[in-house]
Amino acid sequence: MSLKKYLLLMFLITLFCWVAWLIVVFYINPEGAGFIGLTLFYLSLFFACLGTFSLLGFFSRVWFSKEQVIFRHLGISTRQSFWFSFLLVVTLMLQSGRYLKWWTVLLMLFLLVSLEFFFLSKRTLRR
């Protein structure tokens, strides 16, 4: 699959996820739907954010990078958007349950930054 087709497919799927999230927000009552409604809300938000942050991260890396092979940016931007989307959705879940504290966000942020440093150092060791 070419890069152009991949990015177009990623954009269309991300757009679909945002539409799905908006449908969940406007047409599903969270009190009446229970667990399934909340699951649909968080999953659609996660995938919509994942696609959006991945595309934004990829294009910003291509814009600011001098590297000739731009396919290398796909993996890094997707992984980092996964971490950020995960942090966002888990933070919202903790807030909805009234369990969110400032130190839990810092702990999650520290763990995700540590994981990212691990993957980045693993990548530089391979070179």
Distance CA 16, CA 14 (A): 5
What is the predicted pLDDT for the residue at 1? 83
- Mean pLDDT value across the chain: 91
Percent residues over pLDDT 70 in the chain? 96
What is the predicted pLDDT for the residue at 71? 79
What is the predicted pLDDT for the residue at 66? 78
- pLDDT tens-digit readout, 37-77: 999 999 999 999 999 999 999 999 888 887 777 778 888 89
Query: Average pLDDT in the 105-115 region?
Result: 94
